[in-house]
Amino acid sequence: MSATALLLKEAGWRVTGSDTECYGPPRAVLEKAGIAFTLGYSAGNIPDDTDCFLIGRNAKLAPAENVEVRAALATGKLIYSFPQMLGRLTADRENLVVVGSYGKSTTASLVAHILRHSGVDTGYFIGAEPVTTSWLRAPSAIGTAPTFVLEGDEYPSAHDDSRAKFLHLHPRDILLTSVVHDHVNVYPTFDSYQKPFQQLLDLVPEDGMVVVCADEVGALELAKDSGKKLITYGLKNSEATFQAADIRYGQHTRFNLVKDGEMLGELETTLLGKHNIENIVGAAAWVLERAGISFEQVRAAIAEFPGVRRRLDHIAPHSRIPTLEGFGSSHEKARAAIEAVLLHFANKKLVIVFEPHTFSWRNRASLPWYDDIFAGASQIFVLPPETQGASTHEQLSHEEIIARIGALARSYEGPGTTVAALEGDEVVLILTSGDLCGTLGTLVNKITEIFPRQHIN
């Protein structure tokens, strides 16, 4: 919603908003843009000269429970979901819609970064916040070029619109990273989860293109069945059009980009993990095939791409204990983050602080996710599951989650207890889509205070 607010302001609208809480990257984005927001809901938050409303699908925004939503409905004025507004704002553009169960925020950011780094003033919309650079200054921008890069989400659009959000985005091209069963509270079966992706693929016009990860079976099968023009990419599938070869992992990871068996050249990145190499190859595949960008331009842009916040960024740079934040909103995202940390910090014990914040982690149908997700960790501190919307599905308890993880798991009792359990030879991975019940900043500060980086003159 904050990225949509930025686009609306650029398009000439005056924007205000309301929520029960606003923290982390969205708050900073709104404040930097000078967009006013109110904490708490009230009919009095609505300006008298309001022309239209954007209302999210959060459980707390159901009309029966929210006085401000009821007041908005009572005005009789236009009401949009944010994907509807994105569709309106980009109706005349050539849209690349980046979708998938995981990898879409980073991949969409990479495409937008490569284009803008190469001199193309593309519009873009990212559901996360790219690390600020001269090319990506915010999570969204209108741009002036015909191309618009959109991260698309399969979650329902609004309380009165069960369509997946990305179905409003009229794609010319699609970049499909993965189709792995998620959002079990909305899509109880894999068949039901696949359906909106099939509907999206059907929207690609005859002159459109689908770029798909060949390593992810669910995505590849759907893309093949769509009958659209395909470009494939991957690390493992030897038949993929674009591949990464000779990967050398390190503080600066290097690999060769190959197309149809022919080496195009070497790329270098500071991003961590195999999954990010996959994201880079996917982004490079689309820009090289569709955008008229040269390999040298791709090489230069990738080398200067700093990543996306909450996607394995170092959040305690002044501590000798590497502390990274991963966006652990699903099994696949959490597992990719864990594997990346184990790969790059193989000589350190892995301590995980985990908050089951999303419905996916809190739903009883997801209990088997906990059986192997934390393999390789030495300690796991688990917060209580988020309670918002708990009555709308079969919610797991804190005790059940800890029991299912097993002996390495213990309850998160706050920053002090967690830091006291550290010895100094660990790497800490924080997995959440929340803020550790408001303690994230305090935890980072304590890690830095107790284990400061040792400077050598």
Q: Which residues pair with 99 in a beta bridge?
A: 176
Output the pLDDT for position 310: 87
Sheet hosting strand 311-314, strand order edge to edge = 311-314, 323-326, 426-431, 349-354, 379-382, 409-411
Which positions ≥6 away from 347 have C-beta within 8 Å? none
| Cα-based angle 291, 294, 299 (whole degrees, multiple of 5) | 115
Cα–Cα distance list, 299 to 109, 134, 174, 196 (Å): 15, 17, 23, 34
Average pLDDT, the chain: 94
Whether pLDDT at 36 is above 80: yes
Q: Is 63 helix (H, G, I), strand (E, B) or coil?
A: coil
- pLDDT confidence band for 456 (50 / 70 / 90): very low
- Across residues 40-57, what is the average pLDDT? 94
- pLDDT confidence band for 455 (50 / 70 / 90): low
| Cα-based angle 264, 270, 275 (whole degrees, multiple of 5) | 75
Q: Please name the CATH architecture into which domain 2-80 falls.
A: 3-Layer(aba) Sandwich (3.40)
- pLDDT confidence band for 24 (50 / 70 / 90): low
What tokens does 352 get? 């995980």
Whether pLDDT at 457 is above 50: no
- Across residues 341-366, what is the average pLDDT? 94
pTM of the model: 0.89
Give the rounded percent of residues in the chain with a pLDDT score beyond 90: 83
Output the pLDDT for position 16: 94
311-450: CATH number: 3.90.190.20
- pLDDT confidence band for 305 (50 / 70 / 90): very high
What tokens does 224 get? 């093949």
Q: Where are the domains of the chain?
A: 2-80, 84-303, 311-450
Domain 84-303 part of CATH 3.40.1190.10: yes
Taking only the tens place, the pLDDT of each residue in 253-302 is 999 999 999 999 999 999 999 999 999 999 999 999 999 999 999 999 99
Q: Is 187 helix (H, G, I), strand (E, B) or coil?
A: coil
Q: Is 409 helix (H, G, I), strand (E, B) or coil?
A: strand
- Asked, colleague to colleague, whether 84-303 and 311-450 share their fold, the answer is no
Over the range 180-200, which residues count as b (16 or more CB within 10 Å of their CB) and which as e? bbbbbbbbeeeeebbebbeeb
Output the pLDDT for position 431: 96
Which positions ≥6 away from 387 have C-beta within 8 Å? none
- Across residues 411-416, what is the average pLDDT? 97
Output the pLDDT for position 182: 87
Taking only the tens place, the pLDDT of each residue in 289-299 is 999 999 999 99
Whether pLDDT at 365 is above 60: yes
Q: Which of 420, 286, 449 is nearest to 351 (CA)?
A: 420
Taking only the tens place, the pLDDT of each residue in 65-75 is 899 999 999 99
- pLDDT confidence band for 434 (50 / 70 / 90): confident
pLDDT, greater one: 219 or 329: 219
Sheet hosting strand 209-213, strand order edge to edge = 140-141, 123-125, 147-151, 94-99, 173-176, 209-213, 230-234, 242-248, 253-259, 262-269
Q: Which range (124-133, 414-423, 447-456) has the least confidence?
A: 447-456
Q: Which of 167, 170, 152, 176 is nearest to 94 (CA)?
A: 170
Q: Which range (18-27, 189-198, 377-386) has the least confidence?
A: 18-27
